[in-house]
Amino acid sequence: MELFVAINSFFLLLALAVNLGLAIFVFLKNPQEETNRFFSYLMGATSLWILSFLLFLNVNSVEWVLLLRRLTPVGSALIAGVLLYFSLVFPSSKKTYSFWIKLICLLPGFLFSFISIFTAWMVRGYYVTDVNYLFLGRPLFGWAYQFYSLYFIIYFFLGLGILIRKYILAKDRAKLQIFYLLFGVSVAGICGVVASLLLPLLGMPRLFTVGPPFTLIMAYFATHAMVRYKLLNIEDFVRHGILFLFATAAAVGTFAVILIGQWTFLFSFYVVLANLMLGLLVLFQHPRNKINLSFFLITIGIVLWTIGVHIFWNSANLGLVFFGGKLAFLGAAGIPSFLLLFSLAFPKQLKPISRYHWSLIVFPLMLFPSLIFSNLILKEVASLAGGVQRIYGAAYPLFSLYYLFYLGLFFYNLFIKERALTGISRIQVRYVFLAFGLACSIAVTTNLILPLFGLGTFSFIGPHATIILVGVLAYAILKHRLMSVEVVIQRSTVYGTATLLIMALYALAVIVSETFFRKMMGYSSLVITAAAALLIAVVYQPLVKSFQNLTDRLFFRGRYDYQETLREISHKIAAVIQLEELSKLIVSSFIDTMKVSEISFLLLDKDHEHFCSTAISLPRYKKIEIDVSSPIISWLSASKDILVRDEIEDEISHQEVGGEGGKLRQHSLQEVGDEMDRLGISVWVPIVSKDSLIGIIALGNKLSGDVFTTEDLGLLSTLASQTAVALDNARLYDEVVNMKEYSEKILQSMVSGVLTVDTKGRVVTYNSMAEQITGRKKLEVLGKACEDIWGKRGMISNIIENTLSKAKSYVNFESNLASPEKGLVPVAFSSTLLFDHAGKKLGALITIQDLSEVKELEDKVRQADKLGALATMAAGMAHEIKNPLSSMKVLSQLLPKKIDDPDYRKKLGEIIPREINRIDKIVESLLGFARATTLSFEPTDITEILEENLKYFEAQAADSDVKIIRDYAKLPLIEVDRSQISQVFSNLILNALQSMSGGGELKVVTKLGKAVEGITQNIKIQVTDSGYGIAEEKLKKLF
């Protein structure tokens, strides 16, 4: 029975620690999520149930047994209600349930808990059958116990039914999550119901305390679902959850040992817990890998060995002592075989494990257990005056030889690998050699060599020496990621450890006060308790600080503050937009933060063919050029995750080569590793923008020799994301600068003046041609209002005001612009409004075209037309003059002969004056044309001149049946040459009348022309007739 109590207590304690740890861990991960909260409540209620059974199992006072028995239904009553509500909200709590649903689910559990503790309705009495083992008594149930049992069964199976229905309807990962949780809850619940509920009702209470340990099954499947399928969205259970569970187990176990008073078990408990934690941590990292699996089996062997040794040395019952001895040998028997397997696989296999080696591994595992149970190794134990005497069997020397030989093989294999391997692998081998060398040298001495000489009293030291093994390997894991395991010591870990130490000191003070001061000296324990509390208040903060400094010195020399570092570098990166400065900042920041031996910052070139290091001159900067088809680039582009040489090496060693896919994967990993070795870079951090690889931060090893931790990689990943944003910004900045320079060049090379203004009329852009046309320098104009530059009534000011306020767009609007250098300059204005992408008005754009050359060209064209017309006219006049001259020449030639002829003299008198008059008229018309080129301008009423010409031709119009229509506007006086404009009107009216000999309509219209600043610049006169018009080919000759 003593063995039953010990084993049952152990499993109850283990179940309590695991369930309580899970409850706290899940709650702290996301307390806002209802699913997480109620899962933690479920595990908490389970922990309460287990605790009540643990206390009831170990009760040794008749006065307490009834109260503790009444406490046992409390946890299970709460479990049923919480499970029912949890089944409603799991796996997703998107649906919100009302207060009444929660009340229906949870209230009965609290009612039955209250009834069980404070009334006799559930357990009205307890019949003790054995005063040494009070838990074996028989409870006397009250009338409410049957209702409680019915409630528990209904609520429990209703919750299971809801989970089954959800499992049937669920898909993908949610289906697997529900399956594992449902299976674990079902098995644990049904076994617990049978052992702790139905059997007591049937009058069989002996197995009453066996029910709660079955909750370990539920905890196992829950943790399995967390690791494999992210149950409750928990993704870091391996790195944080396991440590948290074991920290909780350490705290629970410590207090349990203190309460029970089994001080001798405390150190053994810590050794067992440390080995088990380390083994599980390694196993969960790569469960199928030979390295991790063999190491886990080694720790299991150490755990069984330690428990067996403790039972052997601390039991009064010889039967238990013998059992403990066999358990110790059984655990120890497997350790050498698993060490051999571990040495062949760790840290990588130099060659495949042969059949010979497999036979060496498997054969002892089959041989020695049979020898142990046949009493051929430990024959018997005897109680002597000096203690327990072990009597070894005939196979004990063989067992010792087996141990020594296999340990020799183990260290030989490590020695060979230390010689063959390099880098981090060699360092890991050295740590393993040191850890196992220290532990094995002590264990072999105390448990193998000394017992051969009859000195077996020191055998309890052997398994406890493995705490050295755990310590050294834990250090190697933290420093060099031994066996691919990484543990992050966070500030919360430091505070938690310090708190546990303080609690242990407080508990020790209370125990000392109770056992020593109070019994022997008569002091009140309250005084010691108060003093202990005061001591805690004084030493807590210094202890935390000291512990933090110790961990920093041991594991994180030169440790940085993750958040502070991230904030500082992010702030610096955000303030830089030029690519060259950004590259220098990134490189220097990573050198200072990570303390790396070398670094390179690579960007994709313009041709998208290579990743090249940017041109930076800094210490430890390495220039690299790598093709886009490189295995490293292919890997980074596909995974978009940080590439670490050690992790590639681990994956190569863990890769199961099976089938074509496995071989391709192995080959790909090997290519990546070879490329990293060739370039001498151990960490490649991808910079990804818009799902494309745009750059790489390549880092060498740390100067300290430490590995890159998850905290390091997390910082690198975050900074890479921010670097991607900064690179995009830098490239956009370069594009904007280039575009601005390009636009500026276009602007300055334009032949038209260009200026832009904002919505308030202030000049923003002003090109060089605008300077030439306006005669105002750029510095005099930029940033000033147009009214301040050209005046409120200035032409440019008016155009800008009309464009901005009236949305009027000008197109080739001709006018004159006053220039301080050139005077009046003929120009053509065009304007339009400017808008942003959202349609918001930004300002206006005005172009100014200098028409000076155009006007000069037009004058030259007109002059050329006049000269052409003059030539034509001169030719006609020459012909006209030649005709009368010919007649006069003939007459002059006949003059000598016919001077006396009366008829001749008569013709001579008639012809010569007539021809002279004809020539005179031709000369007069020529003189008139010459006089017409000299214009005389004077203010004139244009309507008056029109009316004079129309009245002159009224009679002719009436004869031709032409109707004259007048449409005169009120016109100002304009400066014209009166005679010339009158001649123009006369010609137009005459031509119109001549084209309408058969009648028609002549319409004369006057209009106001362009006006600038309210002043009319010209007028329009239209003369329209209904005649046959002018031929197309003659229109070009009109002027």
Instruction: For the chain, give the mean pLDDT.
Output: 80
Q: Which residue has the higher pLDDT, 251 or 355?
A: 355
Are 276 and 282 in contact, with CB atoms under 8 Å apart? no
Name residue 415's amino acid: F
Would you say residue 91 has pLDDT above 90?
A: no
Place of tokens 């009302």: 98
Within this chain, do residues 477 and 497 fall inside the same structural domain, yes or no?
Answer: no
Report d(CA 686, CA 699) in Å as an integer.
Answer: 11
Highest mean pLDDT among 82-91, 344-353, 916-925, 948-957: 82-91
Half-sphere exposure of 377 (CA within 13 A, CB side): 23
The CATH number of whichever domain residue 424 belongs to comes to 1.20.1070.10
Task: Please tell me whether residues 727 and 613 are part of one structural domain.
Answer: yes
Question: Average pLDDT of 710-731?
Answer: 81
The CATH number covering residue 846 comes to 3.30.450.20
Which pLDDT score, from 0 to 100, does residue 402 have?
Answer: 92
Helix count (H) and strand count (E) of the chain?
36, 22
Query: If we measure between CA atoms, which residue out of 128, 130, 129, 132 comes closest to residue 317?
Result: 132
**In the prediction, which pLDDT does 236 show?**
58
Phi-psi region of 626 (alpha: psi -120 to 50; beta: other; left: phi over 0): beta
Residue 727 · residue 689 · CB < 8 Å: yes
Query: What residue numbers bound the domain in which 520 lies?
Result: 489-558
Look up residue 837 and give its two tokens.
């992408």
Give CA torsion, residues 168, 170, 176, 181, to 10 deg. -70
Label the pairing between strands 610-613 and 625-627. Answer: antiparallel
Q: What is the CATH number of the domain that holds 964?
A: 3.30.565.10
User: Do 887 and 911 contact (CB within 8 A), yes or no?
Assistant: yes
Domain final residue, candidates 693, 708, 735: 735
Q: How confident is the model at residue 669 (pLDDT cuts 50, 70, 90)?
A: confident
Distances in Å between the Cα of 916 and the Cα atoms of 912, 921, 924, 925 are 6, 9, 12, 14
How many Cβ atoms from other residues are within 10 Å of residue 505's Cβ? 15
Do residues 294 and 386 share a domain? yes
What local confidence, expressed as pLDDT, does residue 489 receive?
46
Greater model confidence, 506 or 940: 940
Q: From the CA atom positions of the chain, what is the Rg in Å?
A: 54
Q: What is the pLDDT of residues 518-530, one digit of tens each?
A: 444 444 445 555 5
- Top mean-pLDDT range of 248-262, 263-277, 860-874, 965-979: 965-979
CATH of the domain at 881: 1.10.287.130
| Residues linked to residue 825 through DSSP beta bridges, in sequence order | 817
**Pairwise CA distance, residues 121 & 152, whole Å:** 16
Task: Please report, as a single letter, which amino acid is at residue 530.
Answer: A
Which token pair is 762? 């202030």
529 in the same domain as 417: no
Q: Residue 956: pLDDT above 90? A: no
Sign of the dihedral defined by the CA atoms of residues 221, 223, 224, 226, in that order: positive
Whether 204 is covered by a domain: the verdict is no
What 790-793 contacts at long range (C-beta under 8 Å, 24+ apart), as own/partner pairs, is 793/1013
Span 600-625, mean pLDDT? 86
Considering the domain boundaries, does residue 1024 fall inside one? yes
Exposure string for 802-812, b = 16+ CB within 10 A, e = fewer = ebbeeeeebee
- The whole-number average pLDDT for the span 20-34 is 84
Phi then psi for 1009, rounded to 5 degrees?
-95, -145
What pLDDT is stored for residue 488 in this prediction? 44
Same domain, 594 and 726: yes
The answer as to whether 688 is a domain residue is yes
Residue 1028 pLDDT > 80: no
DSSP codes joined into one string, 749-813? H-SSEEEEEETTSBEEEE-HHHHHHH---HHHHTTSBHHHHH-TTSHHHHHHHHHHHH-PPPSSE
Mean pLDDT score, 234-244: 62
The Cα–Cα gap between 308 and 464 comes to 12
pLDDT of residue 339: 92
Phi, psi of 811, rounded to the nearest 5 degrees: -130, 110
Residue 764 CB neighbour total at 10 angstroms: 15
Model confidence at 184, in pLDDT bands (50, 70, 90)?
confident
The lowest-confidence range among 72-86, 374-388, 953-967 is: 374-388
Crossing angle of helices 579-594 and 710-749, in 10° steps, is 170
pLDDT value at position 505? 54
Q: Assess if residue 527 is contained within a domain.
A: yes
- Least confident stretch, 195-209, 330-344, 357-371, 829-843: 195-209
pLDDT at 250 > cutoff 90: no
- Decide if 12 is inside a domain: no
Query: pLDDT value at position 82?
Result: 93
- CA 213 – CA 664 distance, rounded (Å): 46
Q: Who wins on pLDDT, 735 or 536?
A: 735
pLDDT at 521: 47
In the block, residue with structure tokens 């395991």:
485
Same domain, 603 and 662: yes
Q: Could you tell me the two tokens for 797?
A: 């000011």
Q: Highest mean pLDDT: which of 404-418, 711-725, 817-831? A: 404-418
Residues 239-245 have a mean pLDDT of 65
- Over the stretch 280-298, which tens digit does the pLDDT of each residue have? 878 877 777 888 899 899 9
Is 957 inside a domain boundary? yes
DSSP string spanning 511-544? HHIIIIIIIII---HHHHHHHHHHHHHHHHHHHH
Of 341-345, 491-495, 618-622, the one with minimum mean pLDDT is 491-495
Give the burial class of 510: count Cβ atoms within 10 A of its Cβ; 0-12 exposed, 13-18 middle, 19 or more buried: middle
Q: Given 3-state DSSP classes, what are the helix, strand and coil percentages for the chain, each rounded to the nearest 5?
A: 65, 10, 20
Whether residues 921 and 998 share a domain: the answer is no
Instruction: Quote the DSSP letter at residue 895.
Output: H
Cα–Cα dist 387/314, whole Å: 11
Are 613 and 602 within 8 A, CB to CB? yes
* β-strands 625-627, 683-689 pairing: unpaired
Residue 190 has pLDDT above 60, yes or no: yes
- What's residue 363's pLDDT? 94
DSSP state of 210: G
Kindly state whether residue 240 falls inside one of the protein's structural domains. no
In the predicted model, is pLDDT for residue 578 greater than 90? Answer: no
Task: Please give the model's pTM, rounded to 2 decimal places.
Answer: 0.56
- Cβ neighbours of residue 124 closer than 8 Å, sequence gap 6 or more: 140, 141, 142
DSSP secondary structure string for all residues of 306-338: HHHHHHHHH-S-HHHHHHHHHHHHHHHHHHHHH
Higher pLDDT, 1038 or 194: 194
Give strand pairing partners of 758: 843
Q: Please name which of 709, 700, 692, 834 lies closest in space to residue 765, comparing C-alpha atoms.
A: 834
Please state the domain count of the chain: 6
In the predicted model, is pLDDT for residue 590 greater than 80? no
Query: 109 pLDDT exceeds 90?
Result: yes
Mean pLDDT of 819-833: 83
Q: For residues 438 and 541, state if they share a domain.
A: no
Higher pLDDT, 385 or 45: 45
Q: What is the pLDDT of residue 425?
A: 78
Q: How many residues does the chain have?
A: 1039
Q: Are 803 and 846 in contact (CB under 8 A)?
A: yes
Judged against a pLDDT cut of 90, whether residue 211 lies above it is answered with: no
Whether residue 86 is predicted with pLDDT greater than 80 in this model: the reply is yes
User: How confident is the model at residue 716, as a pLDDT?
Assistant: 82
Check which CATH number belongs to the domain holding 709 and give it: 3.30.450.40
Is 375 in the same domain as 302? yes
Q: List pLDDT tens digits, range 460-496.
A: 787 888 888 887 777 677 665 665 555 444 444 445 4
Domain boundary among 466, 485, 504: 485
One DSSP character per residue, 450-518 reads HHHTT--TTTTHHHHTHHHHHHHHHHHHHHH-GGG------HHHHHHHHHHHHHHHHHHHHHHIIIIII
CA nearest neighbour of 553 among 596, 481, 495, 494: 494
- Give the model's pLDDT for residue 492: 45
Q: DSSP code of 690? A: T
Distances (CA, A) of 130 to 1, 4, 123, 135, 206: 11, 15, 19, 8, 12
In the structure, what pLDDT confidence band is assigned to residue 416 with cuts at 50, 70 and 90?
Answer: very high
Pair 906, 1010 in one domain? no
| Cα gap 964→950, rounded to integer Å | 8
State how far Cα 3 lies from the chain centre.
56
Give the other-Cβ count within 10 Å of 9's Cβ. 19
Q: What is the pLDDT of residue 281?
A: 79
Burial of residue 428 (CB within 10 Å: 0-12, 13-18, 19+) is buried
Crossing angle of helices 242-260 and 264-285, in 10° steps, is 170
| Digit-coded pLDDT (tens) for 133-181 | 787 888 888 999 889 989 998 999 999 999 999 888 888 778 888 888 8
Comparing 254-258, 799-803, 1006-1010, the range with the smallest average pLDDT is: 254-258
Sheet with 823-835, side-by-side order of all strands: 763-766, 753-758, 841-850, 823-835, 813-819
Residue 212 lies in a domain: no
State the pLDDT at residue 63: 82
The tokens describing 350, both together, are 């130099």
Distances (CA, A) of 368 to 323, 333, 365, 396, 656: 16, 6, 6, 10, 31
pLDDT tens per residue across span 424-436: 778 888 888 888 8
Q: Judge whether residue 78 has pLDDT over 90.
A: yes
Most confident of 51-55, 81-85, 383-387, 649-653: 81-85
Higher per-residue confidence, 186 vs 485: 186
CA distance 680 to 674: 10
**Maximum mean pLDDT: which of 50-59, 481-490, 537-546:** 50-59
Report CA dihedral (225, 229, 231, 234) to the nearest 10 degrees: 110
Farthest CA pair distance, the chain: 199
Q: Is 937 exposed, middle or buried (0-12, 13-18, 19+ CB in 10 A)?
A: exposed
End-to-end CA distance of the chain: 135
Same domain, 350 and 445: yes
- Same domain? For 815 and 866 the reply is no
Convert the pLDDT of each residue in 963-989 to its tens digit: 989 999 888 888 888 878 887 888 888
Q: Single out the residue in 485, 515, 531 at which a domain terminates.
A: 485
